Chain A
Amino acid sequence: MASINASPETAYTESVESLASRVLDDLLGVQDTALVSDQVISTSGYKTALAAVRVLGSDMFAPQVLTGTVFHPEDAAAVVSAFQIFPPLPMDSPAVSVPSWRDWAMARLLTRYGGDDLGVEQPLGDCALTDTEDWRIWSVRMAQLSPLALPGLDSPIHDAARDNPLALSRGLTRAMLRRDYPTAARLVRWIALLSSSGVASPVDPETVATHLQLLGGNGARTALDIIITRWLLGMEWR
């Protein structure tokens, strides 16, 4: 648990890692309680726990998407509370792009798996996220949008990914050369999603996924990205 004097970002980062770890446990069949249980709240604090929900976003639904398990009602309530305490940014905010798309994806999956309709619409007219002229900037944004790289979601962001496997591959290669494995894991997840729908890429995602699994560190969020990637590619993932 973060110290009482830690900045919100430090405490939230720890909480996100903890939540991602519990999502991993759920995927592997180890977790049998709500991801955001009373025990979690009592340990990390209510607001910190819900901040983690907002940051992890639609990746909370990975067990449901990948294995078909039921989304716990307490977790559905936690998502609703998280959106109430950390509401979506106004659409005219300059920082709207990435968080708004992530909010849309999470809200969509919440509805799909039995939760309330949060009324979050797709952002409109977001040219920056579909402009691939500078593949380095664009690929970093796509990495930030990796929670959208789940089967069953579709949007202009997914269209941009399908239309630009080369830019994604360049971004992935650059991340690997820089040994920025969290970014690489998020980008290979996109390439794996494309592969699952028959879109070829210059980079072999299976090789990258194996490399990241061996050398990508022990972060829970990166591990979650790799497991989702392996599932998308039909590789052994448990």
Chain B
Amino acid sequence: MLALHHSSLAATLPETTAVTSLMAEPEAAISDAPVFSPQAAGALLALLLLSPKTEPKDK
């Protein structure tokens, strides 16, 4: 049985604001999709140049 002591449990403004905010939850602030990073081009080129040379496998 639920105890009904509403007069002493009325939501405060921060609590009401929290409920209202959670009802109107915004979309994710930061996308998890990969983003273009021009600074990475130099690092990628260096990795390609420094990677060990391997001969293609004969099929």
A positions within 8 Å CB-CB of B:
7-9, 12-13, 16, 36, 38, 41, 46-47, 51, 54-55, 57, 74, 77-78, 81, 84-86, 89, 95, 98-99, 102, 140, 143-144, 175, 177-180, 182-183
Q: How far is the CB of A117 from chain B (nearest CB, A)?
A: 18
Does chain A have a CB within 8 A of B1? yes
Given the known interface contacts A51-B15, A178-B31, the answer about A57 and B2 at a Cβ–Cβ threshold of 8 Å is no
Q: How far is the CB of B5 from chain A (nearest CB, A)?
A: 8
Given the known interface contacts A98-B24, A144-B23, the answer about A7 and B31 at a Cβ–Cβ threshold of 8 Å is no
Q: Determine the distance from Cα of A175 to Cα of B45 in the docked complex, in whole angstroms.
A: 32
Given the known interface contacts A8-B18, A51-B15, A86-B16, the answer about A179 and B6 at a Cβ–Cβ threshold of 8 Å is no
Which residues of the other chain, A, contact B50 by a CB distance below 8 angstroms? none
Q: How far is the CB of B23 from chain A (nearest CB, A)?
A: 5
Dominant secondary structure of chain B at its interface with chain A: loop
Q: Determine the distance from Cα of A71 to Cα of B36 in the docked complex, in whole angstroms.
A: 51
Instruction: Decide: B15 and A47 in contact? CB cutoff 8 A.
Output: yes
Instruction: Decide: B15 and A8 in contact? CB cutoff 8 A.
Output: yes
Q: Determine the distance from Cα of A46 to Cα of B3 in the docked complex, in whole angstroms.
A: 9
Which residues of the other chain, B, contact A177 by a CB distance below 8 angstroms? 31, 33
Q: Which 6 interchain pairs have the tightest Cβ spacing?
A: A179-B32, A178-B31, A180-B28, A8-B18, A9-B18, A98-B24
Q: Determine the distance from Cα of A194 to Cα of B19 in the docked complex, in whole angstroms.
A: 29
Q: Determine the distance from Cα of A47 to Cα of B16 in the docked complex, in whole angstroms.
A: 11
Does chain A have a CB within 8 A of B37? no
Instruction: Decide: A143 and B27 in contact? CB cutoff 8 A.
Output: yes
Which residues of the other chain, B, contact A84 by a CB distance below 8 angstroms? 6
Instruction: Decide: A55 and B23 in contact? CB cutoff 8 A.
Output: yes
Q: Determine the distance from Cα of A144 to Cα of B22 in the docked complex, in whole angstroms.
A: 9
